[in-house]
Structure 1
Amino acid sequence: MFQSLGSRVLASLFVLLATGPALADPPHAHVPGRPKQVVIISFDSARDIAQWQRSRDLARRTGAHFTYFLSCVFLLTRENRDSYKPPHKAAGSSNIGFAQSKEEVAARLGQIHLAAAEGHDIASHACGHFDGKDWSKADWLSELASARRVLADAYELNGIAPEPKDWRDFAARAVVGFRAPYLSTSKALYEALPEAGFLYDASGVSKGPAEPERRGGLIRFSLPLVPEGPKDRPVIAMDYNFFARHSGAVETPSKAKAFSERAYHAFRHAFDAQYEGKRIPLEIGFHFTLMNGGAYWDALERFAGEVCVRPDVACISYRDYVERERATTPADGQSGEPVPGGKNS
């Protein structure tokens, strides 16, 4: 689907302010008895330090909670990368590189700790960003265990002190969500995830916004196809897919403003359709990468600044959604029935 992504997530992501004044929406009061519109915004790989800070600033301005799908190779340097052994690869292999220095790892760990303290969701994007569609259950259990171990041991592995007192408890308990690299899934992955202690997976793709499903011990989420462009052709609601659609995944910053407008209107139209309709949760995926001159981050910041501040909208993380659902729904019923979006208010 977007196999060239691994080499691109090394670029830094920087959220730019939208050019010109944003059009303010009129106030919207929450209508009693109607669920809030849920919007779930997530970031894959979560590498660049500046983008950690910028995304957290966006959250503070809008009241949003985000999900960060962390690739654990960014907690390792080339000096200690051999501590990670991916399935069917040499020790120290990665499709997306490693951290450049101990100081970079320390800064990233600080951002992770701050984001978690602010209520954001730290989830797993595995380690080396490999396509595991042909991996066995045992392969996936090994990869998932590596991701947990590297996160827990990151301070020790890199000789960074002091380690926060709550770090290992956080690493053991906080990571309950997963998104597969390349959104590449398999039966073996879905068998491994609940055994490895995960509560949700966000690797799916749906024809449009879809209610999450409980299946096989997991809550499964799907990034939707949304209408985009002059012909309203569907595209996955993820920045890289817009990048591939607009410029063939070739950087074309001269058209950033036009691409940003197209992305913003795609997000906004998808939101408006649910807001005025069934209020099915809208999921949007991003990376810590500037593509086409930051066009898609311009669009995201504009979109979130308009909708997340509404009293009848809940911009929440995947974990927030799962915790609300688990608090209001019996633990039985793993037959694949939808998890009611109306419970997220």
Structure 2
Amino acid sequence: MPHLSRVIAFSIAVFAAGAAFADPPAPPAKPKQIVIISFDSARDISQWQRSRALAARTGAHFTYFVSCVFLLSPETRKEYTAPGKTEGKSNIGFAASKQEVAERLEQINLAASEGHDIGSHGCGHFDGKDWSKADWLSEFGAFRHVLENAYSINGIAAEPKGWRDFARKSVVGFRAPYLSANKALYEALPAAGFLLDASGVSRGPVEPPTVNGITRFSLPQIPEGPSSRRVIAMDYNLYVRHSGGFERPSMAEEFADRTYNAFRAAFDAQYQGKRIPLELGFHFTLMNDGAYWNALERFAGEVCIKADVECISFRDYVSHAREPQDAVQNVGG
């Protein structure tokens, strides 16, 4: 007959093992949900101010893809020559005056000082689908020349200390006008010192791959409207979907609600699921009486303030993603 102490010891061991099986380790915590909000061309001064105010309220950081022609006045427009064009040509015009350029430069400075990301949208908003690598490099060179020398080109006094260093080193992202990319673009981007491109389109949110040193982001197609048809998550595409690209201010509230609902559903799907980054794109144009900006402010006001959500820029996303790689590379010198 087994000794009583052995029976007790065996019973305790069995109970302890059972307890271990009954209380498994907690699952790993989900990563924070990333939302990346960006603006193309970035012309209107009041929209610079409005977007920066939204960021201040919500803790968000945005990416502004600037078109360099808006840093040239009618008098200085010939500083820019697009590939295959004569000097001083642009698809989107130029700044209205030297004063407007000065105000825009002030907004760029303020946004950068607040932690926002200044990216390149090229200069003249031409479709580069047929451009060569040399053409793209010419456009990138024009952008950097105009940005770096914007104060002197336009005769604006009091260039901020460090401006040229900022212009040379801080612009690491690009988005092609019309989202029109080609093979030559991806050959030119690393040669021009860029780290990321945001010209892609995908069916739903996707993790951005890094190819040849360029992290490639894609605006997702998200379900929208009564029939849940997919549309690129950008205000212009919603504008065309809703009103054929024509203003219908009487329906602005309906369009804003549809847009908000589409954004929120796309966010919730990731927030409750795999937490793939969600990208949303905008312009400074108030289409359909500001419906899309109204939806943006409602959406960002709800989600960007969540403790497990980060509304960050493309640059910051790439910087955070590359930190572990940099740490590994630095081990052992």
TM over 0.5: yes
Aligned to 1:304: 300
Aligned to 2:121: 125
- Matched position secondary structure for 1:261: helix
Aligned to 1:338: none
Aligned to 2:314: 318
Instruction: Pick one of 107, 131, 143 that aligns with 1:111.
Output: 107
Aligned to 2:331: none
AA aligned opposite 1:90? T
- Matched position secondary structure for 1:329: helix
Q: Structure 1, unaligned stretches of length 5 or more?
A: 1-30, 333-345
Aligned to 1:250: 246
Percentage identity across aligned positions?
A: 71
Aligned to 2:59: 63
- Offset of residue 33 of structure 1: 2.3
AA aligned opposite 1:177? G
* 1:19-46 Cα deviation digits (max 9, x unpaired): xxxxxxxxxxxx9721000000000000
* 1:189-222 Cα deviation digits (max 9, x unpaired): 0000010000000000000000000112200000
- Offset of residue 78 of structure 1: 1.1
CA distance in 2, matches of 1:259, 1:245: 10
Q: Structure 2, unaligned stretches of length 5 or more?
A: 1-26, 329-333
TM-score w.r.t. the length of structure 2 is: 0.89
Asked if 1:293 corresponds to 2:289, the answer is yes
AA aligned opposite 1:263? T
Aligned to 1:158: 154
AA aligned opposite 2:67? S
Structure label with greater radius of gyration = 2
CA distance in 2, matches of 1:176, 1:284: 19
CA distance in 1, matches of 2:270, 2:30: 12
Asked if 1:51 corresponds to 2:47, the answer is yes
AA aligned opposite 1:240? Y
TM-score w.r.t. the length of structure 1 is: 0.86
Aligned to 1:329: 325
CA distance in 2, matches of 1:173, 1:269: 37
Aligned to 1:207: 203
Instruction: Pick one of 235, 238, 246 that aligns with 1:239.
Output: 235
Aligned to 2:267: 271
Aligned to 2:98: 102
CA distance in 1, matches of 2:102, 2:196: 28
- Matched position secondary structure for 1:141: helix
Aligned to 1:91: 87
CA distance in 1, matches of 2:327, 2:229: 39
AA aligned opposite 1:199? L
Instruction: Pick one of 221, 228, 253 that aligns with 1:225.
Output: 221
* 1:7-62 Cα deviation digits (max 9, x unpaired): xxxxxxxxxxxxxxxxxxxxxxxx97210000000000000000001100000000
Point out 4+ residue stretches in structure 1 off by more than 4 angstroms: none
Instruction: Pick one of 245, 261, 278 that aligns with 1:282.
Output: 278
AA aligned opposite 1:170? F
Aligned to 2:15: none
Instruction: Pick one of 73, 98, 112 that aligns with 2:69.
Output: 73
AA aligned opposite 1:319? R
* 1:138-185 Cα deviation digits (max 9, x unpaired): 000000010011000000000001000110010011100000000000
CA distance in 2, matches of 1:241, 1:145: 30
Whose helix fraction is larger, Structure 1's or Structure 2's? Answer: 2
AA aligned opposite 1:106? A
CA distance in 1, matches of 2:51, 2:77: 27
CA distance in 2, matches of 1:254, 1:328: 51
- Matched position secondary structure for 1:296: helix
AA aligned opposite 2:120? S
CA distance in 2, matches of 1:159, 1:189: 33
Alignment size in residue pairs? 303
CA distance in 2, matches of 1:296, 1:100: 25
CA distance in 2, matches of 1:209, 1:220: 12
CA distance in 2, matches of 1:289, 1:113: 21
CA distance in 1, matches of 2:171, 2:204: 27
Aligned to 2:145: 149
CA distance in 2, matches of 1:131, 1:329: 35
- Offset of residue 304 of structure 1: 0.1
CA distance in 2, matches of 1:33, 1:276: 13
- Offset of residue 330 of structure 1: 5.6
* 1:252-311 Cα deviation digits (max 9, x unpaired): 000000000000000000000000000000000000010001000000000000000000
AA aligned opposite 1:137? K
CA distance in 1, matches of 2:168, 2:299: 34
